[in-house]
Copies of this chain bind each other. A is one copy, B any other.
Amino acid sequence: MVKEKITGLTVTDIRFPTSLGHHGSDAMHTDPDYSAAYVILETDASDGIKGYGLTFTLGRGTEVVVCAIKALSRHVVGRALEDIVNNFRGFYRELSSDGQLRWIGPEKGVVQLATAAVLNAVWDLWAKKEGKPLWKLLVDMTPEQLVSCIDFRYITDALTEEEALEQYMLKNGYPAYTTSCAWLGYPDDQLKKLCTDALKEGWTRFKVKVGADLQDDARRCKLIRDLIGPENKLMLDANQRWEVNEAISWVKELAVFKPIWIEEPTSPDDILGHAAISKALAPLGIGVATGEQCHNRVMFKQFLQAHALQYLQIDSCRLGSVNENLSVLLMAKKYNIPVCPHAGGVGLCELVQHLIIFDYISVSGSLENRMCEYVDHLHEHFKYPVAIQNASYMPPKDPGYSTEMKPESVSQYQFPDGEIWQKLVREGKIEI
């Protein structure tokens, strides 16, 4: 019997002009156009099955990721899915360790985002082939099968394959928090209205963007804390705006508003800096959260070893897809640190819900101090959008990794030739 092969890879630069409404704005990213490099894997299967994958970007630079994905396609096209998943660790290493291409990473930045997009499509294809949502595919694997998807290179001093097998347990919606109310560019009235609406919808956990101006931050934090009351949870997010010592003194000024975490206080590369901030803020009951720009398992390993974070925020599109996220979930379990994923970008909620539901059922078995970010944004472009009920992610039921976008969205938002972008150009609202 002939094995079904991946016969082609297409990649599209899709951008949504979100900067026009200040959605997604923070102290370091003032004008993001939420975007995605979107991959479709074609196969020669008789049922015409395809795999869809993406990585999230902020607009400019998406074309660079598209270029990197094309550079990776030689490792994927012509291969049989069965051969890939039967030696997934080997395939992962082949992608991440291409002897010429790894120089421009390695395992970081553009090439890691490209790896995520390609492997996300492979995982979607596999889950569809098995007729299961991705989280169920993962939950149903034996520990040995699952561990065989992980490349343990450079993390064996923190977690070995044998230890990984011990990090399992078996044990329903997953708690979510909202970032939709308090983007840095929103005026106070908009913030108040969004927050009031969110409370009515049952939200109990709220994140506010800080870091540009201390007085402004204090006013916004007070406004939100007064609205949500003392029993609901508040989180702060500085998006890497500060120096190490500045982060400590700034957050101390905001401690009166009782936030449970400060997210991304400084450079995402500064493990020792995050450790110093963690130590200084622990007496105030404020933890450090980070990870959305943490580029690989080796960095997460050190954040855990150095006690540099108290909330670990994986990202489904920055790490090397499911494979590398599995290694991080298992290390977090060993170090007893709750995983609270980053989401909100294009497709990030759709993808990461699978990982966090798997984490709950098969790894952590706990909801304590755990929640997954949610932004009510751009879900209408996905064929299988997230379902939020009572401020919780409801487990997806459709086969695959929820990565597939609607063809009309792909066509309209393709950059720069899609209708939406061409219309903005004609109206003089943007230049390309």
Q: Interface on A for B, CB 8 Å cutoff? A: 28-33, 57-65, 67-68, 71, 97-113, 153-154, 156-157, 240, 243-246, 266-273, 276, 293, 295-296, 298-299, 301-302, 305-306
Contact = CB atoms under 8 A, between A and B. Distances in A.
Given A154-B270, A273-B298, 17 more contacts: A28-B99, A58-B100, A60-B98, A61-B103, A64-B71, A65-B104, A104-B110, A105-B109, A108-B295, A109-B112, A110-B110, A156-B246, A270-B298, A270-B302, A271-B271, A272-B302, A272-B306
Contacts of A302: 269-273
Contacts of A59: 100
B33 A100 contact: yes
B64 A97 contact: no
Contacts of A276: 157
Count copies of this chain in the complex: 2
B104 A64 contact: yes
A104 to B, nearest CB: 4
A111 B244 contact: no
A267 B154 contact: yes
A421 B273 CA distance: 47
A15 B157 CA distance: 38
A108 B270 CA distance: 13
Given A99-B28, A111-B110, A104 B299 contact: no
Contacts of A103: 29, 32, 57-58, 61, 293
A95 to B, nearest CB: 12
A100 B29 contact: yes
B269 A32 contact: no
A108 B111 contact: no
Contacts of A154: 243-244, 266-267, 269-270, 273
A28 B153 CA distance: 13
B64 A111 contact: yes
B298 A269 contact: yes
Which of A57, A100, A153 has most B Cβ within 10 Å?
A100
A100 B31 contact: yes
Contacts of A296: 269
Given A269-B298, A306-B272, A99 B64 contact: no
Contact of A99 (B32, B68, B272): B32
Contacts of A295: 108-109, 269
28 contacts: A29-B100, A29-B102, A29-B103, A33-B100, A57-B100, A57-B103, A58-B101, A60-B101, A61-B71, A64-B110, A65-B104, A67-B67, A103-B293, A104-B113, A105-B110, A106-B240, A108-B108, A109-B109, A109-B110, A153-B267, A154-B243, A154-B267, A154-B270, A156-B243, A156-B245, A269-B298, A270-B302, A272-B302
A243 B153 contact: yes
Given A109-B108, A109-B110, A272-B305, A100 B157 contact: no
Contacts of A71: 60-61, 63-64
Contacts of A30: 99
A63 B110 CA distance: 12
Contacts of A33: 100
A101 B68 CA distance: 15
A244 B158 CA distance: 10
Which of A28, A33, A267 has most B Cβ within 10 Å?
A267
A78 to B, nearest CB: 14
Nearest to A296: B269
A29 B295 CA distance: 21
Contacts of A106: 240, 268, 293
